[in-house]
Structure formats: structure tokens, C-alpha cells
Amino acid sequence: MLIEQPPLILRWLYPKALWRMDRNDKSVYLTFDDGPIPEITPWVLDLLDKYQIKATFFLVGDNVRKHPEEFKMILERGHRVGNHTFNHIRGFEYLSENYLANTDKANELIKSDLFRPPHGHMRWVQYYTLRDKYRIVMWDLVTRDYSKRLNGFDVFLKVKKYVRNGSIITFHDSLKSEKNLKYALPRSIEWLLKEGYTFKVFD
Ligand SMILES: [Zn+2]
């Protein structure tokens, strides 16, 4: 199964979720999951500022609680934020009531109308409940920057190979992806700009 680019069957599971934006528009949507953390998030923000790019950060509520300064930096620099649960939990492993309570708890801090489920899955009842309250944002291209089996160059190649008009691209501002992110993100941005892509955030 193609992991970097989710297959149609998966997209059909959550039909109202956003997987890819306008395919006639040469734009991409950069998203960063799992922050904020002081070790990586400010580095990402500085890089985005350098290119005057806005992005969307899907935040873990507990990280926002622990790192309010970095959370504030994301907002002050004009980026979009979304809810990624309070404890980065997997929908299938939790009773829906508890899963939903965990997302509510995160949103007391994050206050967003965007939601992305950790690990890309939710039970249907979770999905149907959440989609009334949030726009559910999945992705068109996951770079797998967190993978130990990939190096930074591999991650950069995946961006070049799979990106297309309207792609929602997922990176991670996490310790696990630090090395690959620091290699691949600046190169990806340079390459995308050279190819004529513009960078957008969700309305
Ligand atoms: Zn995540």
C-alpha cells in the first residue's frame, strides 16, 4: 500500500474530510503535527518567516500546556492552528466518549475549528461527531519524516515525487523527525518555490 499518498479507499472512509485542496491551483498546504516543542517549533517558525510562508500546526494539547511560549509564537507569527487531541491518542483504542473528551480538553487551549486525528484514524462515531464541530484535515502527502528507515534526502525525494496541485503536506515538529525535518524542509520549500507552487493555509 502506498503510504505517502493515501489510497482512495482510505479517502472514502472519511468522505467529508479534507485530503487534497483545489487540483487546479498550483498551491500546497504545509502542515506540522505533534508540537509545539521548544526544540523544533521555533526553528520551523524561523524558516517559514525566512520564506514568508504561512502554515498550519496540528497541536497536541498537552504540549500546548507545557510550552505556552511556543504556542504563542505560532499564533503571533500568523499561522493557523488545529486540534490533534490532548494526548495524541488513537481513536480505535479509546471509547468514543473518552476520545471526544480528550479532543475537547485540547480545544480549551487550542481553540480551533480544524482537527486532525493522530495516526490518521478515528472510529466512525468519532468522525461523525467531530465533523459537526471541526473541519477534519487529513493529507495528500505524508513525508514520513519521523521514520527511522528514511534519511533526510529520502524525505525530500518523497516530496518531489508525490506533491501535486492542492497537496496537503504533513511534516512533524517533533524530536523523532528532527534530523529528517531539518534536512528536508528547507530543501522542499526551495524546490516547491522553484517549481512555482504557492503556499496556503486553510480559510
Ligand atoms: Zn500526530
What pLDDT, in 10s, does the model give residues 2-57? 577 887 777 888 888 999 999 999 999 999 999 999 999 999 999 999 999 999 99
Is it the case that residue 127 has pLDDT exceeding 80? yes
Tens-digit pLDDT profile for residues 129-170:
999 999 999 999 999 999 999 999 999 999 999 999 999 999
Residue 33 annotated in active site: yes
Q: How far is the CA of 171 from the centre of ligand 1 (A)?
A: 10
At residue 152's C-alpha, the angle toward residues 26 and 51, to 5°, is: 45
What residues have a C-beta under 5 A from ligand 1, the ion? 33-34, 118
Residue 172: active-site member: yes
- Of the listed 25, 33, 34, 132, which one is catalytic? 33
H/E element, 124? helix 124-133
Reported as a pLDDT band with limits 50, 70 and 90, residue 113 is very high
Cα distance between residue 34 and residue 61, in whole Å: 9
Do 57 and 81 contact (CB within 8 A), yes or no? yes
Of 79, 84, 172, 173, which one is the catalytic site residue?
172
CATH 3.20.20.370 fits 21-199, yes or no: yes
> How many whole angstroms from 120 Cα to the centroid of ligand 1?
8
Distance of alpha carbon 158 from alpha carbon 152, whole angstroms: 10
